[in-house]
């Protein structure tokens, strides 16, 4: 359980782990040193920024909690990887599109497109297709797996959890949208 209270210096709503009860902590808003109360002074609120405890109290021993707050690096990495995954995932249909438009015109039906791609692959697929397809497939697979792992780790970290959740949503829901997009013919 965390202790939530108003900073007596600036009045902002802050939160510390309960082992910081009655100890001095640094307010994350005004950076002043304040004494944490023994118990929360109002009902829990999940969106409260954590006050970063600082080593002022002489009673703090080696077992003291590390400072909370700051940046959730893993969550940010997950978000970046999810964006890279989207870009590489979109790259392969984009690369094939000019050849499809050349052969079938601007608005081929999904059926025509599928037949055309199948036909091309059965004959002699252009080398650029194979290379581009392979590179974008491998890159998107690597970004997807790495991004998902980072998102899961990032969600476990209490700070900036929203970044990790956003990455997780993109990576988990993305394949569904990609399949729907392919089914309707991008």
Is residue 33 near Zn ion by the rule CB under 5 A?
A: no
What burial class does residue 30 get, using C-beta atoms within 10 Å of its C-beta: 0-12 exposed, 13-18 middle, 19+ buried?
middle
| Beta strands 2-6; 13-17: pairing state | antiparallel
Give the nearer residue to Zn ion in terms of CB position, either 29 or 129: 29
Q: Could you give phi then psi for residue 105, rounded to 5 degrees?
A: 90, -175
Identity of the residue, 45 or 119, whose beta carbon is nearer to Zn ion in the bound complex: 45
Q: Is 51 in the site for Zn ion (CB under 5 A)?
A: no
**Among 7, 91, 99, 139, interactor with Zn ion by CB under 5 A:** 7
By CB under 5 A, residue 50 contacts Zn ion = no
Interacting span for Zn ion (CB under 5 A) from 24-32, 49-57, 121-129, 170-178? 24-32
Q: Is 4 helix (H, G, I), strand (E, B) or coil?
A: strand
86-105 residues in contact with Zn ion (CB under 5 A) are none
The pair phi, psi for residue 167, each rounded to 5°, is: -60, -40
């Amino acid at each position: 359980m965390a202790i939530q209270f108003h900073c007596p210096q600036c009045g902002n709503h802050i939160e510390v782990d309960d082992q910081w009860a009655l100890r001095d902590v640094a307010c994350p808003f005004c950076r002043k040193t304040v004494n944490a109360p023994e118990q929360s002074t109002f009902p829990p609120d999940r969106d409260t920024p954590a006050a970063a405890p600082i080593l002022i109290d002489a009673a703090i021993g080696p077992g003291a909690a590390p400072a909370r707050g700051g940046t959730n690096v893993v969550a940010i990495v997950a978000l970046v990887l999810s964006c890279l995954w989207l870009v590489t995932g979109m790259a392969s249909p984009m690369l094939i599109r000019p050849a499809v438009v050349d052969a079938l015109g601007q608005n081929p039906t999904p059926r025509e497109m599928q037949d055309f791609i199948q036909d091309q692959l059965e004959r002699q697929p252009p080398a650029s297709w194979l290379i581009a397809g392979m590179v974008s497939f491998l890159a998107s697979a690597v970004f997807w797996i790495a991004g998902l792992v980072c998102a899961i780790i990032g969600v476990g970290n209490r700070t900036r959890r929203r970044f990790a959740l956003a990455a997780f949503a993109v990576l988990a829901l993305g394949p569904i949208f990609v399949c729907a997009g392919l089914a309707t013919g991008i």
